[in-house]
Structure 1
Amino acid sequence: MTPQERRTVSSLATLYSFRMLGLFMVLPLLALYAADVPGAGPVTIGLALGAYGLSQALLQIPLGWLSDQLGRKPVIIGGLLVFALGSVVAALADNIYVIILGRALQGAGAIASTVMALLADLTGHEQRTKAMAILGMSIGVTFALALVLGPLVAGVAGLHGVFWFNALLALVGIAIVLGRVPTPPPAHRHRDVGVRSPLVRRTLADPGLRRLNFAIFALHFTLMALFLVVPGALRDIAGLPRDSHWMVYLPALLLSIVCMVPMMIAAERRGHMHGMFLLAIGLLLAAIPAVVFAPAAPVVYLGMLLFFTGFNFLEATLPSLVSKVVAPEGKGTALGLFSTCQFLGAFAGGAAGGWMLRVGGPAGLAAGCAALALVWWLLFAPSGAVPAPSAAVITE
């Protein structure tokens, strides 16, 4: 990479991380800290947790298109301002419904596709895959950091302080865009970014891509739904005060990376992608009862390790599979729809998870998540269900 490309990639990865950090930090907090907020209940807390996913899903593609018309940086700055506004609304909230509104506004600053498009605009073709990989790795690091940093910030400043911190991150992100990221030449666009309407129907019709879209939906559904009960399990079963939950999340995440490495080697280098994919879903399936019905703290810890191992493997593998099986001219469309399904899964997991928790309690939520994971496993169980990156499936 040239020095300018290195600066661009590092700046945009930092920007992307700041925004995702703000969205993820409340994941280990809302189920505990929002319980005493007026209007709070399983359904409304679930909506507050996943509300950002709905606005992200609705606006990701339109804002990506708008960036083609107005330029990348104005859309990114506008999205960060909307994210900051949502953070302030949530920080000033005196009831759960205003927190839901704030979370929806946070998601409405849907700049992920625009950031990726800007990254493509500012990097050469031979460096673009590496740049996208760095951006993808930053998401995993951000997720881990959010689970640790969220409880620490909330322990000092409460839930409102976390949202104020989110607003600060958005303002720092704007400073990065203005001071560190170059402006690409006008009309400097690439065929492998952005959603192209002629390819949408063919992308939706492809059975392999449909399965992958379902997989990312189910993964983020399970994540959001399970975190409605995980914080309570750490408090009630493991006996940890809520500002100390990071002491479980951090080692569980680090150990999960160690456990994930052999799976990645077996999948990528030894050609066992199908088996490792099913194993990862199986780990999620095993983690659900381990966390929800744990009789003692060690079982909760084991459940967290199983969940993060499966989640991290699938989170890294799924977008890679989409990217590998789609020709360059269809990649932006496929990844745009893939991201939409991801955010819809986050919204549905929060909303439906809260409903299941209210109607059936923890057992009802566990049953719903386990049923979804089982359908997911059965969908990918047949040989060849995991697409092989040997041929492009969506072309002009």
Structure 2
Amino acid sequence: MPSTVTTAMRGTVDVLAGTLTFEPLPDPSSSLSVRRNISAAIYGNQGSTVRIYNSAVTVTEPSSPGKKTYSANVGVRNLLAFPIGDEQAGVPTDTMGIYAFVNSGPTVISTSSACTPACVVTVLNNHGTLAFNALAQKYWHWQERLGAAGSPTDTTLLRKSWVFEADTKVTAFSFDVLISAAWSAPNETRWKIDYQGDSLPLFNAEPRWQRITAGTLGTVVLNTPSAGILTITVPASARLNYYRNDSLRNTTNAYIESRFRTNTATTGPEMSFGIDDDVKFIAVGLSGTQVGFISGSFAFIGTPVTASTTTFHTYQIRKFAADSAQLWMDGARIASRTNSAFSASIVGISYGFYFGIAGVGISPLSVSGSSSSWDYVIYEIGVVQP
């Protein structure tokens, strides 16, 4: 993937004509540095590498006095010679998807009369915010993989509604937008997924995570114990964890990182996260006082490390292809194992990447009930560290 972006698209809403049009920026003022907070090439040459298309603009009167909303249904067509939206060239089990994010604006272009105070336009229904090439950029997401240009699958199946709110005096406004989408190998060599704990993994995160449960269904609560933290709680003889089946071979480098804590002083490592590469199960678990690698029966491998697991720490597993794995805590390596030390891939459950309260035992469950709080989970395929 390129290290800089030199082309963006500008969307312009003409309120009087009821239109939304997209065009490439003819003379970008500067290159945009790409941060690797999320996987994917970041690009946007309208009509050359991608085409954003849309319906007519619908105008509604919201409850806010002096405001109107402007909405259009938007889709994406891939104009590249290879598929986008996932790291696999074939049909993937899970799809990373396609993001369209606001790179700058919205900006008022014209008004019917002077605005006092200044007229403003805001994005009203973005799916969330992520750091693409700056912090907290608003985006819309398609959970789709698009085929190469000219194929029957080169266009999104669904259009997403984009909604803006503006002062009634605004007659035109614009915003710059870019596409972020995973490219299949060899067009890209690393692929990253960033889950933040401010959204429900199963319903609101982009891309979505799948859920595994057993026993009485536990609870998942947002913004607890503080904003942006997800807290998972299960009763005794239950489990609740999330996973994604992104493609990962035993011979491929990868890492997974999470900032979380246990809220329950369990004896065994009931809270865990990890990688299953279809040959080996490489995971890390937390008990009430210890952290360490765990086996396929969700018990510690060897001697775990004593740690204050009831406070937040950042844990990272680095998988060195089929050779070995390391456990890092708050930026320091605390354990390492060769691949031979890890259990075989769990039969019948191809995790890929997972996190949550998996429990303990061959058919893992929480012994007496447990709780854990998660700030974020990030994983990347193709490299061993960010």
TM-score (norm 1): 0.25
Question: Which structure is higher in helix share?
Answer: 1
